A and B are shown apart, each in its own frame.
Chain A
Amino acid sequence: MALIVIEELTKDYRLGSHTVHAVRGLTLRVARGELVAIMGPSGSGKSTFMNILGCLDSPTGGRYLLDGEDVAGLSPGELARIRNGKIGFVFQTFNLLARTSAVENVELPLIYAGRPARVRRARAREVLAAVGLADRAHHHPSQLSGGQQQRVAIARALVNDPAVLLADEPTGNLDTRTSVEILVLLQQLNRQGITIVLVTHELDIAAFASRVLTLRDGRLQRDEPVLSPRDASVAQAQLEEEAVA
């Protein structure tokens, strides 16, 4: 069974008297191990869709099965449990807690999972090391670069072993070099078996995915596999060569 099953999903926003149809009947599946990029013009409903996937928002209509569980009718408390255990969400603006060290930021989901402090700290350090920030564990967000902050955010998303990693424009606030760095990390994680869905505006970024979905006016306009995804580490090596030259 597919990890994500979406059927006739709709989302309406009510703004005073008129209604905005942000998502109008999406049907799709995402299998385990995919790296899916969602593209589309501004206002096409990408973020709205991602927020529903991330159980941050609930759909107006349709069905959403995550890992076999019907998410549509769940209570806020049960949604919190799913966000905690099955989903890792990465934001465009990082959303790290200020005045809080990297390792403590990474620990956050484990606190709400009820893990004891020692287990939490050890696990957070392990994941921070996996994203290449072992030596920055005690830095505060204000002492980290944008790329480093996004790595901390990715570590936070991964710390509780989620079924899927969702990222809404994870590289939107980063320059090209740093964006590629993040993509190297994401591809690496994907090869280790983590399912990833990310939103991006840039074709260059979408080229690293194994499948590209294009939204337009809340509908699925195109859904095509990428036959030979670019390898981010190769792209990174090329960038470095250019920099030297």
Chain B
Amino acid sequence: MNIWESARIAVRALRVNKLRSVLTMLGIIIGVGAVIAMVGVGAGAQASVTERIESLGSNLIVATSGSVTSTGVRLGLGTQYTLTEDDAAAIAREISAVQVAAPSMKGKGQVVYGNLNWSTDVYGVTEDYLEARDWPLDAGRPLDAHDVDGATKVAVLGQTTVQKLFGDSDPLGQIIRIQKVPFTVIGLLAGKGESAYGWDQDDVVLIPLSTAKKKVLGTTQPNPRSVRKVEIKILPGDDMDEAEAQIRALLRQRHRLQPGDDDDFKLGNLTDVLETKEQAAQIMTYLLAAIASVSLLVGGIGIMNIMLVSVTERTREIGLRMAVGAQGRDILLQFLVEAVTLSVIGGVLGIAAGLTGSRAISHFAEWRTLVAPDTIVLAFGFAAAIGIFFGFYPARKAARLDPIEALRYE
């Protein structure tokens, strides 16, 4: 007997007890639906985090000036800047995986326009900065090499700063004062949103690094070439860890550190932070899936229960089938197919329920949900597997019946 024959018999048997079959399927429908909806919620959260990683600029390694221990006194991170513009230039020059290395300074500054003033982060940057951060402009032009070399007094504003100082009027070409120094606004940055740590990345003013050092942030550093950070963008496709190791080796060599010495800088991979968050989101997905799977399991137990009842009720039928020549495996197949039919139909309806459910969650809770096709395939496969697993015991019980005892069963 082939599988289609069994499937036909199974569907017919299920139609005899329609309500019972539907109720049994309901367990699987709810189970599969819950798995799909929950994984959808988890994957949606994960996707949001991933997007944030991308907004920070992927392939970014940040070198931060660190503590100096030459005098035996460990100074806090960044107190005395150990990195220099020359380090940045050397990194860009000597490491082939580096697309661009952008040195920068940062400080708080009062920005005034007309009678409005706003305290914001002032970054002294080079022409490479926006490329390193994957940060496009909305309007105007970026800082160029001429601005940096000539220490011109021009500024590019982040969206929050624009909002605070200009409201709806056009800032391009206007003069603002940063720490009382007048600057011409030449460009407006595109919005970037919150950082991985939750601060507003759009609350900034970018000015040339040279200008910042001379006029705005003032330099208390012994070395006028020092910078606080170097943002290094790695070429797509190159290995981040390997690039990081090369940068570390180069900086250690340039800073003349002996093998036993600590680094006097810190290399951070911005994505590290977010990967941790992404992992957390993934764990949440697994957790939700696990909880939802419990209901699928309960659905499976429901199938087993109903199949056991069915085998008992149909003992005489089984006896008769055996009497006319059914082998144990024919009976096994028949009941197994019946269980799998229940779980597979339940699975299909469950997928529909899960998709509807995750839509509803997106709509009413305004959470992002994301149902990937492989989730659907997996949930469906899982449902079928549940049918086989929980259908097997009742089916084997049926297959092992003794024909004459089954025929005599009252």
Q: What residues of chain A have their CB less than 8 Å away from a CB belonging to chain B?
A: 51, 54, 56-57, 76-77, 80-81, 83-85, 89, 91, 95, 97, 99-100, 108-109, 111-114, 156, 160
Contact = CB atoms under 8 A, between A and B. Distances in A.
Given A56-B403, A112-B330, A97 B320 contact: yes
Contacts of A84: 324-325
B325 A80 contact: yes
A77 B328 contact: yes
B322 interface: yes
B317 interface: yes
A108 B321 CA distance: 8
A56 B404 contact: yes
Contact of B323 (A77, A83, A111, A160): A83
A57 B404 contact: yes
Contacts of B404: 51, 56-57
A53 to B, nearest CB: 12
SS class, residues of chain B in contact with chain A: helix
A56 B323 contact: yes
B1 interface: yes
Contacts of A89: 323-324
Given A76-B328, A77-B327, A95-B407, 8 more contacts: A57-B404, A77-B328, A97-B320, A99-B16, A111-B1, A112-B327, A114-B1, A156-B324
B282 to A, nearest CB: 50
A115 B301 CA distance: 36
Contacts of A97: 317, 320
A20 to B, nearest CB: 15
Given A56-B404, A56-B407, A112 B321 contact: yes
Contact of A80 (B5, B16, B316, B322): B322
Most buried by B among A54, A57, A80, A113: A80
29 contacts: A51-B404, A54-B323, A56-B404, A56-B407, A57-B403, A76-B328, A77-B327, A80-B322, A80-B326, A80-B327, A80-B328, A81-B327, A83-B323, A83-B324, A83-B325, A85-B325, A91-B407, A95-B323, A100-B12, A108-B324, A109-B324, A111-B1, A111-B5, A112-B1, A112-B324, A112-B327, A112-B330, A113-B325, A114-B1
B16 to A, nearest CB: 6
Interface in B294-333: 316-317, 320-330
Interface in B321-372: 321-330
A179 to B, nearest CB: 22
A-B complex: 4 closest residue pairs judged by Cβ atoms: A84-B325, A112-B325, A109-B324, A56-B404
A55 B45 CA distance: 64
A109 B320 CA distance: 10
Interface of B: 1, 5, 12, 16, 316-317, 320-330, 403-404, 407
Given A56-B403, A57-B404, A111-B1, A95 B328 contact: no
Most buried by A among B320, B324, B326, B328: B324
A91 B5 CA distance: 26
Contacts of A113: 325
A113 B325 CA distance: 8
A182 B326 CA distance: 27
Contacts of B322: 80, 83
Contacts of B316: 95
A83 to B, nearest CB: 5
Contacts of A51: 404
Contacts of B1: 111-112, 114
A49 B321 CA distance: 21
Contacts of A56: 323, 403-404, 407
Contacts of B330: 112
B69 to A, nearest CB: 83
A57 B407 CA distance: 11
Most buried by B among A56, A77, A83, A156: A56
A140 to B, nearest CB: 12
Nearest to A57: B404
Contacts of A91: 407
A13 to B, nearest CB: 11
Contacts of A81: 325, 327
Nearest to B317: A97
Nearest to B400: A76
A51 B330 CA distance: 22
Nearest to B9: A111
A99 B403 CA distance: 22
A109 B12 CA distance: 18
Contacts of B321: 108, 112
A24 to B, nearest CB: 19
